[in-house]
Amino acid sequence: MADDNRDLVENAVVLLALTHVDRPLEAPVQETWFQNGLARRAWQHVAQWRQAGTAADLASLVGVLGPDWGSVAEQYPLIAETFSLRTAVEALRQYAVRDQLQTWLRELPRRWDDPLGAAGWVATQAAQLLGAHQPVTAHTGAAMATAHWTLTEERMAHPEATGGLTFGLPHLDALVQGLGPGDVVFLGGRPKTGKTTFVLNWVRHWLKTGHGVVLFSFEMVWDEIAARLIAMESGLPTKAVEKGLLADDEWGRYRDANGWLSAQPIHVYDTPLTWPDIAARIRQHVARGEAGVVVIDHLGLISRPGRQNSNEELAQIVQPAKNLAQELRIPVVVISQLSRAVEARQDKRPQPYDFRDSGTIEQTANLALMLWQPLPMDLGGFYGRMAPDVMPIECYVAAYRSGPSRVGLLVDWDRNTGRMQDGGESPYDPTQKREGM
């Protein structure tokens, strides 16, 4: 693609997008794709007109840009003969990709002192670039019907493989029937309610059932994650594993659990990352077949340099996370803090509106779960059957797009080992007034 054609390509995108305003763009055109300043200013106006549905023509563009654009508009007959809107946009996109590659080549020599770091940087940049230039495809009725017929035949032939990704908690699995490709789960709770430990029990179950896990842990570092997984697998006390305070007769169990972890397909990131960095790494692992499920712990700790963690900024991560899950066809689990408002209510069971930026999360989530720790008075005589180191927590199904919601399920949390077991349906009745309230 010769450089002397670039001005013509940029002008073609502007003119054809203006004169074919009823035709959708097959790829979102970025202002940064234009090198010619006049074409860039012209695109700014055309993009605004298209978005607003404003009727405009070549004369409109000459009116806002002046006579300089008039000479460009004279190219329209040649452009209309040479390009369609689709081919013009594709040609400009090729230029934009080449620009990015040239930028990398200029940057790479500055990174030679750290070859592995340079390789990682290139991989991240490439994943981001590929993600930004994914084609937008419409699925026809015929194509969908044919593909679904094939999928249905496969499911009927292999019913054991149709349930999706399970959690290892029978009552929750019976309700949800497994996570499917592209599903997004939000797990909310106030601090110290066991959110990370709860999800690590899922992680252990997923690893045991052969699913690769990519975990972005912004609260716990890698050795804390390792200690908890080893404690769950071995049944040893978490604190003993963390501190290395093991009795002689416990080393065998530790060794076996450590060997188990060593063989598992899990990748843990424990350094601050921005959402583009996270998305790039997810793409890398999916491309290598290493990601059966992604976990992000937690939403509020995703790095946003120089910015506050406002609800509006969280919303700018939630929807892209859903889009990425759907594009890559993998389940994504996102842990999120709940607002303090729940602590001021008589009924302590969290609700969907307790999520920070609850509107976006409710619209995005396939499944929204909430953890909280009921008091003995909330569960009647339930506490009487618990072992001393075990406490019940409730997993409240606050929203479920594909089935029943507002269901409370109990989980027995062994605070010693971190293991969590199914505790059945919750007896909590929010209509019962708490003592002293």
Q: Report the percentage of the chain scoring pLDDT > 90.
A: 15
What pLDDT, on a 0 to 100 scale, did the predictor assign at position 152? 78
Mean pLDDT of 216-225: 88
**383 pLDDT higher than 60:** no
Mean pLDDT of 397-416: 85
What pLDDT, on a 0 to 100 scale, did the predictor assign at position 295? 95
Q: Tell me the two tokens of residue 347.
A: 């009924």
What pLDDT, on a 0 to 100 scale, did the predictor assign at position 436? 42
Mean pLDDT of 351-374: 77
8 A C-beta contact, residue 354 and residue 189: no
**259 pLDDT higher than 70:** yes
Q: What is the DSSP letter of 295?
A: E
**207 pLDDT higher than 90:** yes
What pLDDT, on a 0 to 100 scale, did the predictor assign at position 312? 59
Mean pLDDT of 3-11: 84
pLDDT digits (tens, 9 = 90+) for 48-76: 888 877 778 888 888 888 877 777 778 88
What pLDDT, on a 0 to 100 scale, did the predictor assign at position 192? 81
Output the average pLDDT for the chain.
81
Range with lowest mean pLDDT among 176-180, 204-208, 267-271 = 176-180
Q: What is the DSSP letter of 179?
A: B
**252 pLDDT higher than 70:** yes
Which CA distances in Å does 241 have to 46, 237, 257, 276?
A: 62, 6, 11, 35
Mean pLDDT of 340-369: 75
**410 pLDDT higher than 60:** yes
8 A C-beta contact, residue 325 and residue 283: no
Instruction: Identify whether 224 is a catalytic site residue.
Output: no
What span, in angstroms and rounded, lies between the C-alpha atoms of 220 and 255? 23
Nearest to 187 by CA among 328, 398, 344: 398
**195 pLDDT higher than 80:** yes
The residues that bridge with 8 in the sheet, in sequence order, are: none
Q: Which residue ranges make up each domain of the chain?
A: 3-126, 164-425
Backbone conformation region of residue 210, classed left if phi is above 0, alpha if psi is from -120 to 50, else beta: left
Same CATH topology for 3-126 and 164-425: the answer is no
pLDDT digits (tens, 9 = 90+) for 75-124: 888 888 888 888 888 899 889 889 988 888 888 888 888 887 777 777 77
On the 0-12 / 13-18 / 19+ scale of CB atoms within 10 A, 70 is middle
Choose the most confident range, by mean pLDDT, from 117-121, 270-274, 433-437: 270-274
**432 pLDDT higher than 70:** no
**210 pLDDT higher than 50:** yes
Sign of the torsion angle spanned by Cα atoms 175, 178, 183, 189: positive
Question: Which amino acid is present at 268?
Answer: V
CATH architecture of 164-425: 3-Layer(aba) Sandwich (3.40)
**Which residues are within 8 A (CB) of 315 and not within 5 positions of it... i.e. 6 or more apart?**
357, 359, 360
What pLDDT, on a 0 to 100 scale, did the predictor assign at position 137? 65
What pLDDT, on a 0 to 100 scale, did the predictor assign at position 193? 80
What pLDDT, on a 0 to 100 scale, did the predictor assign at position 356? 66
What pLDDT, on a 0 to 100 scale, did the predictor assign at position 430? 64
pLDDT digits (tens, 9 = 90+) for 334-348: 998 887 877 777 777
What span, in angstroms and rounded, lies between the C-alpha atoms of 201 and 255? 20
pLDDT digits (tens, 9 = 90+) for 285-317: 988 888 889 999 878 777 665 555 555 556 677
> Given 26, 90, 219, 250, which residue is catalytic?
219
CATH number of 3-126: 1.10.860
pTM for the model stands at 0.67
pLDDT digits (tens, 9 = 90+) for 115-157: 877 777 777 777 667 666 666 566 677 777 888 788 777 767 7
Mean pLDDT of 266-277: 86
What pLDDT, on a 0 to 100 scale, did the predictor assign at position 233? 92
What span, in angstroms and rounded, lies between the C-alpha atoms of 160 and 210? 14
**Angle 37-52/58-65 helices, nearest 10 degrees?**
130
Mean pLDDT of 37-42: 90
Phi and psi (nearest 5°) for 156? -70, -35
- In this predicted model, which residue has the larger pLDDT, 388 or 114? 114
What pLDDT, on a 0 to 100 scale, did the predictor assign at position 385? 57
**437 pLDDT higher than 50:** no
Q: Report the percentage of the chain scoring pLDDT > 70.
A: 85
